[in-house]
Amino acid sequence: MQYREFLVRARLEDNVVKEWMTAGWLIPAGDEGHAEFTDVDIARAHLITDLKGGIGVNDEGVSVVLHLLDQLHGLRRTLGDILAAVQAGPDDLREQLLSHLGNLPARSDRNPDK
């Protein structure tokens, strides 16, 4: 969606969006003159609004939260890719992996130092 539509749908002022883009909190596709926003950008803008306004998180905290969220989404994509590769692989490999995963101790039983 174009910039103006994004402003309306996100219920934000132009100067706020520009500040958030400068801070790297919003990174639309396209170049500066032809920014293209998605529904993900709308959701991210609503999250930022909630963090800053509703919860009272400062700018540094917002940056940390967004960075962690981006890492989480990247990890989910990577795990999805791994799952797809395992599912496409030979049955014996899949069975070995499932057997190994089934033998792992519960998360609370693991020693982080090992």
Does the pLDDT of residue 51 top 70, yes or no?
yes
Domain positions in the chain are: 3-104
Which token pair is 8?
């309306």
- Say whether pTM exceeds 0.75: no
- The backbone region for 22, taken as left when phi is positive above 0, alpha when psi lies in -120 to 50, beta otherwise, is alpha
Q: What is the pLDDT of residue 87?
A: 87
**pLDDT tens-digit map of 12-45:** 999 999 999 999 999 999 876 788 999 999 999 9
Give the list of residues 6+ apart from residue 11 with CB closer than 8 angstroms, or none.
49
pLDDT of residue 114: 54
What's the topology of domain 3-104? Multidrug-efflux Transporter Regulator; Chain: A; Domain 2 (1.10.1660)
